[in-house]
Structure 1
Amino acid sequence: MTTNAPLSEELRARAAELTGSLIPRVNRFRARQADGGTIAAPTVEDRDLLTAIRDEATAWYARGGLDHQADALAADVDDWIAEGLDSAPHFARSRDALHAPEDGAPVFFLAPAQSTNSVPPVGKRLDCFFAVRKEPDALTSLAETYPHPKNNCQSLVLIAGSDGFTHGNCIVFFPENVAARDKVVDQAYAMFFYNKMRKIHETYALPGAEAVLTADSVPRASSGLAPEVCFEARAIWGYLHDSMHYQGRWPFDQHISLKMNWFVGLLEEIKVDAKTVLACADGDVPFAHEQIDMILLERIFRYPQAEDATRNFDSGTGVFLYSWLREHGALTGSPENGALLHLDRDKALDALRAFVSTVEELEEQVRTDDEYRAAAKALVRTYLPEGEPKQRYRFTDDQSVLLRAKLPLAGLPPLRFTEAEW
Structure 2
Amino acid sequence: MTEILVQDRKGGEGADAQRVIDHPAWPVLKDAVERIRAWQSKDGSIDFAAEGAPDQATVETALDRAISAIGQLSPLLPHDADYHRALVADLCRWAEGGFAEPDFLDSLLAFHPAQHRADGLQHLVVFPMYTQNGNPDRNLEAVVLRVVWPEWLAELERTRYDNPLFLGITFEDFTGGYDTNSAVLFPETIAVREAPERFTWGAIFCDREAARFRRVTEAAVDILKLDLPEDIREMVGDQERCQQAFVLWDMVHDRTHSHGDLPFDPFMIKQRQPFWMYGLEELRCDLTAFKEAVKLEAEGFSQARDVQYAVIFDRMFRFPVSGDRVRNYDGLGGQLLFAYLHQHDVVRWTDNTLHIDWDRAPQVTNELCGEIEKLYREGIDRPKLVHWFAAYELVATYLSPHPGSTWAKGPDALDVSLPPRKLVDDVLPDEFPLSMFYEALKKKLKGVIASTKGITAHSDQQVAA
TM-score range, shorter chain: 0.7 to 0.9
1:389-404 matched pairs, under 5 angstroms: 390-391=429-430, 393-404=432-443
Picking from 317, 327, 344, the partner of 1:301 is: 317
Deviation at 1:405, TM superposition (A): 2.9
1:251-330 matched pairs, under 5 angstroms: 255-257=266-268, 261=273, 262-282=275-295, 283-284=298-299, 285-330=301-346
Deviation at 1:273, TM superposition (A): 1.7
The match for 1:127 is 141
User: Aligned to 1:405, what secondary structure does the other structure show?
Assistant: helix
Deviation at 1:310, TM superposition (A): 3.7
Q: Is 2:260 the partner of 1:248?
A: yes
Deviation at 1:114, TM superposition (A): 1.9
The match for 1:12 is 19
Structure 1 Cα separation of the partners of residues 267 and 207 of structure 2: 29
Q: Is 2:87 the partner of 1:73?
A: yes
Q: What do residues 160-201 of structure 1 show as CA deviations (whole Å, max 9, x unaligned)?
A: 322333x34432111012123433542210112223333222
- 396-405 or 386-395: bigger deviation: 386-395
Structure 2 Cα separation of the partners of residues 179 and 151 of structure 1: 24
1:152-191 matched pairs, under 5 angstroms: 152-165=165-178, 167-191=179-203
User: Aligned to 1:342, what secondary structure does the other structure show?
Assistant: strand
Q: Is 2:145 the partner of 1:138?
A: no
After the TM superposition, list the runs of 4 or more consecutive aligned residues in structure 1 that deviate by more than 6 angstroms: 418-421
Structure 1 Cα separation of the partners of residues 270 and 339 of structure 2: 22
Deviation at 1:238, TM superposition (A): 1.8
User: Aligned to 1:346, what secondary structure does the other structure show?
Assistant: coil
Larger Rg: 2
Q: Is 2:385 the partner of 1:346?
A: no
The match for 1:376 is 391
Is residue 29–residue 70 contact of structure 2 (8 Å, CA) maintained in 1?
yes
Q: Is 2:132 the partner of 1:116?
A: yes
Counting aligned pairs with the same residue, the percent is 20
Q: TM-score normalized by structure 1? A: 0.82
Cα RMSD for the two superposed structures = 3.3
Gaps of 5+ in 2: 1-13, 406-426, 461-465
Is residue 21–residue 172 contact of structure 2 (8 Å, CA) maintained in 1?
no
- 30-39 or 343-352: bigger deviation: 30-39
Deviation at 1:248, TM superposition (A): 2.3
User: Aligned to 1:182, what secondary structure does the other structure show?
Assistant: coil
Structure 1 Cα separation of the partners of residues 19 and 219 of structure 2: 33
Q: 1:278 to 1:255 in 2, by over 3 A?
A: closer
Structure 2 Cα separation of the partners of residues 178 and 258 of structure 1: 17
Deviation at 1:265, TM superposition (A): 2.8
Structure 2 Cα separation of the partners of residues 381 and 229 of structure 1: 36
Deviation at 1:393, TM superposition (A): 4.2
Structure 2 Cα separation of the partners of residues 258 and 113 of structure 1: 19
Q: 1:416 to 1:237 in 2, by over 3 A?
A: closer
Q: 1:259 to 1:314 in 2, by over 3 A?
A: farther
The match for 2:446 is 407
Structure 1 Cα separation of the partners of residues 165 and 147 of structure 2: 13
Structure 1 Cα separation of the partners of residues 263 and 18 of structure 2: 39
User: Aligned to 2:19, what secondary structure does the other structure show?
Assistant: helix
Deviation at 1:57, TM superposition (A): 2.4
User: Aligned to 1:211, what secondary structure does the other structure show?
Assistant: helix
Deviation at 1:150, TM superposition (A): 4.1
Deviation at 1:223, TM superposition (A): 0.9
- 323-332 or 27-36: bigger deviation: 27-36
Amino acid at match of 2:27: G
Q: TM-score normalized by structure 2? A: 0.75
Q: 1:309 to 1:135 in 2, by over 3 A?
A: farther
The match for 2:69 is 56
Picking from 213, 227, 240, the partner of 1:228 is: 240
Q: How many residues align?
A: 405
Structure 1 Cα separation of the partners of residues 129 and 320 of structure 2: 25
Deviation at 1:98, TM superposition (A): 1.0
Amino acid at match of 1:249: D
Structure 1 Cα separation of the partners of residues 458 and 154 of structure 2: 27
Q: 1:25 to 1:332 in 2, by over 3 A?
A: same
Is residue 280–residue 289 contact of structure 1 (8 Å, CA) maintained in 2?
yes
Is residue 26–residue 73 contact of structure 2 (8 Å, CA) maintained in 1?
no
Structure 2 Cα separation of the partners of residues 347 and 313 of structure 1: 26
Structure 1 Cα separation of the partners of residues 93 and 61 of structure 2: 14
Amino acid at match of 1:223: V
Amino acid at match of 2:95: I
